[in-house]
Amino acid sequence: MRLLERMRKEWFMIGIVLAIAGAKLEPSIGMNGGPLKPEITVSYIAVATIFFNSGLSLNTEFLA
């Protein structure tokens, strides 16, 4: 049970390790022209998502 609790607490680090391992095993997925289309997703979708999340975290009193 302690292992499951630890995994729940460290879910982000486990996800990072799995993403790195996946990239090491199959790097062609993230290459230009690959299925993830990083030339589009990183340039537009990721940047827009970061700005959107930053906007959501602003205090509404500060905006007024």
Would you state the pLDDT for residue 27? 92
Residue 34 makes CB contacts below 8 A (sequence gap 6+) with 28
Site of tokens 């230009």: 32
pLDDT in tens, 29-42: 888 888 888 888 88
Would you state the pLDDT for residue 51? 93
Given a cut of 80, is residue 63 above it in pLDDT?
A: no
Give the residue extent of every domain in the chain.
Answer: 1-28, 31-64
Tokens encoding 32 = 């230009």
**Contact indicator for 36, 30 with CB cutoff of 8 Å:** yes
Percent of the chain having pLDDT more than 90? 47
